[in-house]
Amino acid sequence: MARYRTWVGIAVAGALCASLAGCSSTGGKRAEDARKAAAAQGRAAVDTPRWTFAMITHSGDGDTFWDIVQSGAEQAAVKDNINFLYSHDDEAQQQAQLVDAAVDKGVDGIIVTLAKPDAMKAAVARAVKAGIPVITVNSGSAESKEFGALTHIGQDETIAGRAVGEELNERGKKRAVCVLHEQGNVGHEQRCAGLKETFEGTVQNLYVTGTNMPDVQSALEAKLQSDTAVDAVVTLGAPYADTAVKAKESAGSAAEIDTFDLNAKVAAGLTAGTLGFAVDQQPYLQGYQAVDLLWLYRYNADVLGGGGPVLTGPQIITKDQAPALAEYTERGTR
């Protein structure tokens, strides 16, 4: 256990140092932040017992969005003296089995996503019955309380979709395509449904195989070639925005590419004008807050949000805001 703690400390301090562009060589606030991180050496800020929290998500392999969530959780875990375990599987049945495994280990808290809530209900119920506090993040806000979780941390996907529809109206768009990269994910369906609620033009859903990026590009390219009236494409994850830009160029389309979520490429695309806007739900905050709130519950029986969702978004990011966030996206915290 001590070895894990030391490794995390070194990794986090090292990541902070590297992301802050060379530490002492840059001077100013960056250098000061790096100095403080190095001085901390990953030591906990509290002397509470070393509880073990498990986070189990529906992330597929290589999904950079979840790297940001995990980064926030790991940094909060260091601060709170938590032994943090992370696992994921994009197949709901396997994700549920990972939750069961965490229950069998007798962990002190579970953080879980409910992208496919029906498949996760029994596993979450088993954790709650075992007396393990559960917090849901990112997806499943509607089911979180019903399943017995303490609270949910994330954006309301329907509200986020509505915000996108309103933004497209302001931009004068008339025909949009909503690109769903993971079939069965209730959060994705809610985003597109929310978009349809407020958008004054027409919206078509386009289902693609998100684990096969060439397939995503060819499907979107074919759609833009067959329907030249499409003037807005909305992707539901940052990694797909860049692919959508390529599809647009190949198809010779003039459609604006907009996206949910933020990363370094999206920030650069917004600044360069190849992307119209992004919807940020602050994944770093979702991971960080989930660990922090579980710690607060174990330490002080605190529950934030009164059992209701604690919203981390949506925040519409445009060309005006993107440059200020670029350094945070490059270090993987936005």
User: pLDDT for 259-280, tens place per residue?
Assistant: 999 999 999 999 999 999 999 9
Angstrom distance (rounded) from CA 181 to CA 253: 21
Q: What is the pLDDT of residue 63?
A: 85
According to DSSP, residue 24 is labeled G
Q: What is the mean pLDDT of residues 291-320?
A: 94
Which of the two residues, 7 and 206, has the higher pLDDT score? 206
Q: What is the mean pLDDT of residues 289-315?
A: 94
Q: What is the pLDDT of residue 160?
A: 96
Enclosing H/E stretch for 256: strand 256-260
Q: Report the CATH fold assignment for 157-280.
A: Rossmann fold (3.40.50)
Alpha helix (H) ranges present in 177-233?
Answer: 186-198, 213-226
Angstrom distance (rounded) from CA 162 to CA 258: 14
* 248, 74 contact by CB (below 8 A): no
Q: CA dist 191 to 187, 294, 299, Å?
A: 6, 28, 36
Flag whether pLDDT at 1 surpasses 60: no
Flag whether pLDDT at 322 surpasses 50: yes
Angstrom distance (rounded) from CA 85 to CA 74: 9
Flag whether pLDDT at 86 surpasses 60: yes
Q: Which residue has the tokens 């074919």?
A: 222
Q: What is the mean pLDDT of residues 311-326?
A: 95
Q: What would the pLDDT profile of 98-151 be if each residue is shown by its tens digit?
A: 999 999 999 999 999 999 999 999 999 999 999 999 999 999 999 999 999 999
Instruction: Tell me the pTM.
Output: 0.82
Percent of the chain with pLDDT over 90: 81
Residue 307: pLDDT band (50, 70, 90) is confident
Instruction: Extract the tokens encoding 317.
Output: 């990011």
Flag whether pLDDT at 49 surpasses 70: yes
Query: Strands, E, within 48-133: which ranges?
Result: 52-57, 83-88, 109-112
Q: What is the mean pLDDT of residues 2-24?
A: 36
Angstrom distance (rounded) from CA 131 to CA 229: 55
CATH class, domain 50-155+283-303, is alpha beta
Residue 306: pLDDT band (50, 70, 90) is confident
Percent of the chain with pLDDT over 70: 87
Q: What is the pLDDT of residue 172?
A: 98
Residue 42: pLDDT band (50, 70, 90) is low
Flag whether pLDDT at 173 surpasses 70: yes
3-state secondary structure of 279: strand
Taking all residues of the chain, what is their mean pLDDT, rounded to a whole number?
89
Q: What is the pLDDT of residue 102?
A: 98
Query: Strands, E, within 113-235: which ranges?
Result: 134-137, 151-153, 175-180, 202-207, 232-235
Q: What would the pLDDT profile of 202-234 be if each residue is shown by its tens digit?
A: 999 999 999 899 999 999 999 999 999 999 999
Amino acid, single-letter form, for residue 220: L
Lowest mean pLDDT segment, chosen from 10-24, 74-88, 168-182: 10-24
Residues of the chain with CATH 3.40.50.2300: 50-155+283-303, 157-280
Flag whether pLDDT at 290 surpasses 60: yes
3-state secondary structure of 125: helix
Collect all residues with Cβ–Cβ distance below 8 Å to 247 and sequence separation of at least 6.
Answer: 216, 217, 218, 220, 221, 224, 253
- Check the CA dihedral 63-64-67-69 and report its sign: negative
Q: CA dist 214 to 207, 249, 251, Å?
A: 14, 14, 14
